[in-house]
Structure 1
Amino acid sequence: MPPAPARASSRASSPWTVAPEPYDSPAATALWRAYYTEVSDRWYLLHEGHRTDPDELEREIAARTGAELAPPTGKLLLARYDGTPAGTAGVRLVDASTAELTRVFLREETRGRGGAALLVAAAEDAARALGARRMVLDTRGDLVEARALYARLGYAETEPHNDGPYAEHWFSKPLTQGI
């Protein structure tokens, strides 16, 4: 039997739960599609004035399964709001002491209710459990809400740690004291 989901706060009435989820479950797959559609459309609208071509969208969603977010070197966390799948955060080990935070996403209707901070905190705990002492991430310049969230949660902007085609801002946070 899988472990019970963690309550998102000490208040018994909190609508949030966060728990590990297989990257290929129906809920995770639906949230991946929503996430990728949103960030892809946002990029294309900003840079080319149109939404993502549907065929390209389907190819990219299929090509990026999320398998790197499976144990033993990764984990996908799924947030539920009042029991309904609402968002995700993924963690994968980059090396023995560094984890990457990825796929942080909340459905629009649940934003502004504290779920993003809960997801990131749960991802940090998952990274520590994998042995990581530091978390890194990258994001795009147009994703200003994400950049503000990471800064608010103690992530510092750093020099590039990868050469991802859409990586424009890189962040890092120690997960243990003294780093």
Structure 2
Amino acid sequence: MARMTTWTISPEAPGSPVAAALWRAYYTEVSDRWYLLHEGHRTDPAELEREIAAATGAELAPPHGRLLVGRYDGRPAGSAGVRLLDAQTAELARVFVAEDMRGRGGAALLVAAAEDAARALGARRLVLDTRGDLVEARALYARLGYTETGPHNADRYAEHWFRKELVPVN
């Protein structure tokens, strides 16, 4: 008999140990990818620790944000967050699925849950930025109906910007 495994997605406090572990995995991966591509080495461990400590995720806390954690078969395996930029616009951030959990549909489910969270915050559109080397992320966003646009921020690492109009759910 085949055993069914499932994703569950729920809100998480940005400062929780689960959120911190996922943030560490996310930041380590994207930072190492950037440094390997541009400088030929992984992130300096001291810099990595400074950056992780500085990024508390407080902007993803209620009442103006939400952090969501995806659990696969009960195990924390991914995250996505939203934060309001203005009354009608939210930003999608920290979309991440652990490497060994990829290919199981978690990223699309996390983004859909983040879209619902943005709607609940009153947003009518979601925007996001990503880097050129994160080709998997860019493909995901395009597949999920996000349109590449001009810059909406001046983030040092942002190379591609996307937006999606959120259709109200009745």
**TM range, smaller chain:** over 0.9
CA distance in 1, matches of 2:75, 2:17: 12
Structure 1 runs (4+) deviating above 4 angstroms are: none
Any stretches of 5+ residues in structure 1 without a counterpart? Answer: 1-12
Q: Does residue 137 of the first structure (1) align with residue 128 of the second (2)?
A: yes
Identity %, equivalent residues: 79
Which of 7, 24, 31 in structure 2 is aligned with 1:16? 7
Q: Does residue 149 of the first structure (1) align with residue 143 of the second (2)?
A: no
> What is the RMSD computed on CA atoms of the aligned residues?
0.8
User: What does 1:38-53 align with in structure 2 at a 5 Å threshold?
Assistant: 38-53=29-44
Q: Normalising by the residue count of structure 2, what TM-score does the alignment of the two structures yield? A: 0.96
Q: How many residues were matched structurally?
A: 165
Q: Does residue 71 of the first structure (1) align with residue 62 of the second (2)?
A: yes
TM-superposed CA distance for 1:176, in Å, is: 2.1
Amino acid at match of 1:101: L
CA distance in 2, matches of 1:80, 1:52: 28
Any stretches of 5+ residues in structure 2 without a counterpart? Answer: none
Q: Does residue 100 of the first structure (1) align with residue 91 of the second (2)?
A: yes
Aligned residue in 2 for 1:7: none
Aligned residue in 1 for 2:17: 26
CA distance in 1, matches of 2:26, 2:151: 23
CA distance in 1, matches of 2:16, 2:153: 28
Q: Normalising by the residue count of structure 1, what TM-score does the alignment of the two structures yield? A: 0.91
CA distance in 2, matches of 1:23, 1:65: 7
Which of 23, 27, 31 in structure 2 is aligned with 1:36? 27
Which of 103, 113, 116 in structure 2 is aligned with 1:112? 103
